Amino acid sequence: PFLIVSSLNCESEKPRNIMIQGVEHIALCAEDLPSLIAWYQRIFQVDLVKEGEAGPSFLIFPDGFLIEFLEASGQAPPVANDREKGLRHIALSVTSLEEMVGSLKEEGVEVVDDFRTVPNGTKLFGFRDIEGNLIQLVERKVPPGGASA
């Protein structure tokens, strides 16, 4: 149901060999690894999984998305402005944004972009985790560029 704005194979009659299936995981490097993992588990109510005894730690979300947690080897770079080059935020899909926002505010998170609804009905909320990583929560009723699913 997405509106394809540009496609490399749009005029080809050959079937597309799409090998990419989606985003599997992202990795966060933490100054205080146990505290950051515990915070994410408490806030998002997700399970901790490991790849073997000495393997990396992941939190697994209901749709299978993973966040990997690694020990930081040095100081973090300064927090980027909203439109500077590079990765900006982690966006997580939620079913009831108003409820989640209430819980997060009770938790005392640093709000970066307070709850708002954009013209297409998508609801957004931005905040920082305990180590300053920017997280955006999204409740989307209509996929980008398209009609209802």
Q: What is the pLDDT of residues 117-142, one digit of tens each?
A: 999 899 999 999 999 999 999 999 88
Q: Is 90 exceeded by the pLDDT of residue 84?
A: no
Q: What is the mean pLDDT of residues 67-86?
A: 75
Q: What is the mean pLDDT of residues 89-109?
A: 94
pTM of the model: 0.79
Residue type, 105: K
Q: For residue 107, which of 135, 149, 79 has the smallest C-alpha distance?
A: 135
19 versus 84: the higher-pLDDT residue is 19
Q: Which residues, 6+ apart, have CB-to-CB distance to 47 below 8 Å?
A: 41, 59, 60
Distance between CA atoms of residues 126 and 88, nearest Å: 11
| H or E stretch at 50 | strand 47-50
Q: Is 50 exceeded by the pLDDT of residue 1?
A: no
Residue whose pair of structure tokens reads 């300053």 in the numeric block: 132
pLDDT band at 34 (very low <50, low <70, confident <90, very high): very high
Q: For residue 91, which of 39, 143, 32, 134 has the smallest C-alpha distance?
A: 134
